[in-house]
Amino acid sequence: MSVAGSKVSARSYSPSGSVHAISDRMSLASGSLVAAGGGTVGTMGTMTLLGNTTPLTPQQLGVMGMEALENVVSYWEDALTGRNDLSDIPGRAANADQDEFCRELQNLLDAAYNLQEQGELLFLDERSVLYRDDERKAITAGGEHGLTNGHRSGSDPNFDSAESFASALDQVADLREFDDTESFMDLERYPLYSSALETMDEQQIPYRTLRTDMVGCASDTEYLAKLHCIRLAFKLLFKDPKNGRWVADTGRQILTDLLCLGDKDPKDFLVAYESMLEFLQNPSNWNDIELELESRNVKAMTFYDVVLDFIILDAFRDLDAPPNSVLAVINNRFLSNGFKESALATAVWSVLKAKKRMLKFPNGFMSHFYCITEQLSPLMVWGFFGPNESLKEVCQYFKDETIGFLSDIYSFQKCRYTTVDELAEDILENMRKRVNNIGVKFNQ
């Protein structure tokens, strides 16, 4: 927290400060003026590379300005911290001038934080007019030049033919809708699944998102019937406190290892994780938790619905379609990797900070969840889209194993849909197998 307590300090808001030493800040400050290959930025906003002068775009110049502002804020924070440290020395009484200096410097920092947020909206946010102009140019270019950047040329009969075929496919009904999969199955072999189908005849199975294709089901009916069975199995699993402790310990270990592989200090994550576990173990919190999650369209209070479907799968979905602002930072060759990572982390933290302010329950489930996400999301974004190939491989493996586990528990071959007890046993066995695979990979 900031010294004055009125705003969150950029040390928790920005990767600079406690993460970088003073020498690192100096190199970062100069990094916006020296590009790869010995290029320099002139006062007129041009990049000199090997004797050639290349004009920089407004977005590139704006991001470089944000980099410089980040370092300015870091120095001002050091000044404020140092001033207050002096007043904390025993025998040294604080005077009115010191208090006034600290107040004015804190006001200056607050203004700088607001300026950082405005800069992000202008130079990094996908809704900025900068990106809007780029989209217009792309559309115009596509209309003027025919086949440009993957757009179809109206004079190319091959594309007309292919597109007509694609549009014809769109109008053909999905054959799976006419495939009564259950009629070709011996339902007597799967009495639990059969009872779920009977339940569906009497009532609807609530769901957030149909993930039929992702988990390898043949139809939406199969997916929903299995979803009903899986919910029963997870409820049974977590009636045993040993299973709950194992899952909590396993999650802590995997995420800690992931942070360490990304060269991040897991201390803040561990504090947030333990705070979440303590919050969940208090029965008096569960009424508010249910209200919060119901407002997020979570349909059942099971480990599957809350952790796997709502938290993990939605996070992977967001990573599959990153905003243009993220891609713009990653693909900007004029920025150092250090600043790219800092800019991405700052963008993530600013979004989560805004979401926290809007929460109906300031100390509820989502607030605890955002505290964990603050530590993990920047790493995952940088892992999937940054230049570190080894980290990218690890993050992708973690994602593949998680999706693989979900496919396992929806498979008739990997799980017995006979009784709730047998399905729960198989789910736990498949979970242990995937956890072991991740542990082996992380320790290579």
Residues 119 and 216 placed together within one structural domain of the fold? no
Residues 122 and 223 placed together within one structural domain of the fold? no
By three-state DSSP, how is residue 218 classified? coil
Check: CB of residue 434 under 8 Å from CB of residue 427: no
Check: CB of residue 66 under 8 Å from CB of residue 28: no
Residues 264 and 395 placed together within one structural domain of the fold? yes
Residue indicated by tokens 């990997």 = 414
Considering only CA atoms, which of 420, 427, 428, 440 is closest in space to residue 190?
420
Residues 435 and 295 placed together within one structural domain of the fold? yes
pLDDT of residue 240: 94
pLDDT of residue 99: 77
The token pair that represents 146 in the structure block: 């025919």
The model's pTM is 0.60
- Cα-atom radius of gyration of the chain, to the nearest Å? 27
191 part of a folded domain: no
Q: Which of 43-52, 120-129, 192-201, 363-372 has the lowest mean pLDDT?
A: 43-52
- Name the percent of the chain in helix, strand, coil, to the closest 5: 70, 5, 30
Q: Which of 18-32, 201-215, 354-368, 404-418 has the lowest mean pLDDT?
A: 18-32
Residue indicated by tokens 């992702």 = 214
pLDDT of residue 144: 42
pLDDT digits (tens, 9 = 90+) for 176-200: 443 444 444 568 889 999 999 999 9
Which of 255 and 345 is assigned the larger pLDDT? 255
Q: Within a 10 A sphere around the Cβ of 293, how many other Cβ atoms?
A: 19
With cut-offs at 50, 70 and 90, classify the pLDDT of residue 97.
confident
With cut-offs at 50, 70 and 90, classify the pLDDT of residue 64.
confident
**Distance separating alpha carbons of residues 264 and 256, to the nearest angstrom:** 9
Cross-strand pairs, 34: 40
pLDDT of residue 137: 47
pLDDT of residue 319: 80
Check: CB of residue 214 under 8 Å from CB of residue 403: yes
End-to-end CA, the chain: 38
pLDDT of residue 130: 67
2 part of a folded domain: no
Q: What is the mean pLDDT of residues 213-239?
A: 95
pLDDT digits (tens, 9 = 90+) for 146-161: 433 333 334 344 444 4
**Distance separating alpha carbons of residues 344 and 378, to the nearest angstrom:** 7
176 part of a folded domain: no
Give the total number of structural domains in the chain: 2
The pLDDT of residue 77 is above 70 = yes
398 part of a folded domain: yes
156 part of a folded domain: no
Mean pLDDT of the chain: 76
pLDDT of residue 127: 59
Residue indicated by tokens 């009784």 = 419
Q: Which of 35-39, 189-193, 308-312 has the lowest mean pLDDT?
A: 35-39
**Distance separating alpha carbons of residues 272 and 372, to the nearest angstrom:** 5
With cut-offs at 50, 70 and 90, classify the pLDDT of residue 435.
very high
With cut-offs at 50, 70 and 90, classify the pLDDT of residue 140.
very low
The pLDDT of residue 164 is above 60 = no
**Distance separating alpha carbons of residues 103 and 108, to the nearest angstrom:** 9
Residues 122 and 263 placed together within one structural domain of the fold? no
Residues 219 and 108 placed together within one structural domain of the fold? no
pLDDT of residue 115: 84
Sign of CA dihedral 56, 57, 58, 64: negative
**Beta-carbon contacts of residue 284 (< 8 Å; ≥ 6 apart):** none
Q: What is the mean pLDDT of residues 326-341?
A: 80
**Distance separating alpha carbons of residues 374 and 13, to the nearest angstrom:** 9
pLDDT of residue 178: 39
pLDDT of residue 412: 94
The token pair that represents 122 in the structure block: 């202008």
Query: For the chain, give me the number of helices (H) and strands (E)?
Result: 18, 4
With cut-offs at 50, 70 and 90, classify the pLDDT of residue 143.
very low
Residues 105 and 219 placed together within one structural domain of the fold? no
115 part of a folded domain: yes
Which one of 75, 110, 126 terminates a domain?
A: 126
The pLDDT of residue 258 is above 90 = yes
72 part of a folded domain: yes
The pLDDT of residue 1 is above 70 = no
pLDDT of residue 16: 39
The pLDDT of residue 250 is above 90 = yes
Residues 113 and 248 placed together within one structural domain of the fold? no
Which one of 92, 126, 160 terminates a domain?
A: 126
State the pairing for strand pair 46-49/34-35.
unpaired
Range of the domain at 108: 58-83+100-126
Residues 261 and 371 placed together within one structural domain of the fold? yes
Q: How many residues does the chain have?
A: 444
By three-state DSSP, how is residue 357 classified? helix
410 part of a folded domain: yes
Which of 126 and 271 is assigned the larger pLDDT? 271
Residues 272 and 379 placed together within one structural domain of the fold? yes
Check: CB of residue 376 under 8 Å from CB of residue 352: no
